[in-house]
């Protein structure tokens, strides 16, 4: 069984103003690559590709800690794009949310959920934006 391997890029974290209310907000942009079924070999030797389905969640390793009591006040947007596969097609659905720590800690983290089918191994780029009141980020 394959798992997702996440390679985050530097996180962008800025203060913004809500256009409708004028309230201050914190906008954090997470981006990077996620691999399923291993990494594609770019050294010139061939990979063994096969068509398969993939599904599952993964936590962003560079997620800021969010206050679970304030997760109702945030907005999350996600975009994914195909970066590499052994074929010319892939079908992917993505969603993202801030969810409670699975270990029971009093904190919440950004989680992405992917469902798709394509030639495996497959590489996808992701971009997740989280807009929250400044006090929703812990620490």
Domain boundaries in the chain?
4-136
46-73 confidence digits (pLDDT tens): 667 788 899 999 999 999 999 999 988 8
Helix (H) or strand (E) holding 132: strand 122-132
- Overall average pLDDT of the 93-117 stretch: 96
- Supply the pTM of this predicted model: 0.90
Per-residue pLDDT, 135 = 96
**8 A C-beta contact, residue 115 and residue 54:** yes
- Overall average pLDDT of the 3-12 stretch: 95
SS (HEC) of 39-92: CCCCCCCCCCCEEEEEEEEEECCCCCCECHHHHHHCEEEEEEEEEECCCCCEEE
Per-residue pLDDT, 27 = 98
Per-residue pLDDT, 88 = 64
pLDDT of 2 higher than 70? no
């Amino acid at each position: 069984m394959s798992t997702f391997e996440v390679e985050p890029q530097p996180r962008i974290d800025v203060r913004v103003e809500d256009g409708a209310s004028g309230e201050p907000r914190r906008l954090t942009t997470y981006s990077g690559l996620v691999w399923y079924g291993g990494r594609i070999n770019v050294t010139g030797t061939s990979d063994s590709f096969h068509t398969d389905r993939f599904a599952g969640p993964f936590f962003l390793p560079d997620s800021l800690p969010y206050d679970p009591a304030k997760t109702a006040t945030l907005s999350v947007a996600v975009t994914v794009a195909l970066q590499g596969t052994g074929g010319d097609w892939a079908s992917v659905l993505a969603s993202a949310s801030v969810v409670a720590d699975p270990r029971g800690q009093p904190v919440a983290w950004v989680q992405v959920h992917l469902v798709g089918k394509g030639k495996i191994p497959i590489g996808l780029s992701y971009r997740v934006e989280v807009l929250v009141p400044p006090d929703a980020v812990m620490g």
